[in-house]
Structure 1
Amino acid sequence: MWPWGHLAVGYLAYALLRRRSGDYPTEHGTVALAFGTQAPDLVDKPLAWWFALLPNGRSLAHSVLIAGLVWIVVLAVARRLGQREVGAAFVVGYAFHLAGDALQPALAGNVADLAFLAWPVLPPVVYDGPGSFVGHFLGMELTPFLLFEFALVAVALACWVRDGAPGTARLRAQFG
């Protein structure tokens, strides 16, 4: 899944969870959520593609074993700081990033391609294609899954605007 797809899925999940409790997405929660939706790729892709420290761009931070530890630490720190909702928003974003990356292989029935979720217990998945950000963008193809991501972005954007564009208050105050 592309970064915008992760952000869209994460925001829709976060907004739905907030509404179920009678609330709306908050400023700080939305920022934490946005960071959480990108965190696994911000760790794994540079460490794999730039520094060759990981086997691929879906390994360490994409593993539910490591993610679980990150989530525990984030929630504990957030609780200690009195920012439980912010910590929870980060965890929602991170969890839905992993779910988003698992969706396409799961739908295709490629169970072996889900091994990244249990790295390093399971061996790393071997991916075809370029090992760089630029290479991936240049190789992007308009597939049904990519169109699905764009549709999710449109729905998430409409929801975010309807929610009052949370996460942008500081920017609006400075440039508004």
Structure 2
Amino acid sequence: EFPEALKKDVQNNKLQVYANGEIVYKLKGKVVKVTATWDFEAPEGAGDSHTAFMRGKLCNVIIKQGKEEAYKPTLYIQANVTDSLSTFEGKLKKAVEQDIAANYIGLKLIKLSDKLWTVEIPDQYKVGHEAHFGQVTERYLNYLKLGKLPEWEVPDMITKYYTTTEALKLAKQ
């Protein structure tokens, strides 16, 4: 039995929900595809999860959080180069273990195969889903207290909400 407020969205005794979606667009000339999938339940031992695959000319940056990763977000770098693999590896190692690690101490690059590495991220930088939600809430409440958002946040928010509300309009057509 569905509450009265939801009955308009029930068809054949099933609640119709706009939850899963996909958007393909161009950003600065590059094709971007974003897919959101909401499963009824997460796999056993998992919670909300996230997968990302960013293709680049020299490498792909991949975030996986599946069974192989014990449902923990794991960052992979996959080389797309063949001729200058040793040069690529040297630059990657410097970028992770020197340049980025200057701000995030303890990052480590681990080679898994000829063209695949993972970035080991120390526990001190890993914030769980619930703790992160608390951080975001705290920031939002601070914005309310100040009575304004940071300048960079406004165009990002307008873009995000315009895109999602227009997508919902299209989905309902």
**TM over 0.5, shorter chain:** no
- RCO (CA 8 Å, sep 6+): is it higher in 1 or 2? 1
- Who wins on radius of gyration, i.e. which is larger? 2
TM-score (norm 1): 0.32
Say which structure is richer in helix. 1
Say which structure is richer in strand. 2
TM-score (norm 2): 0.32
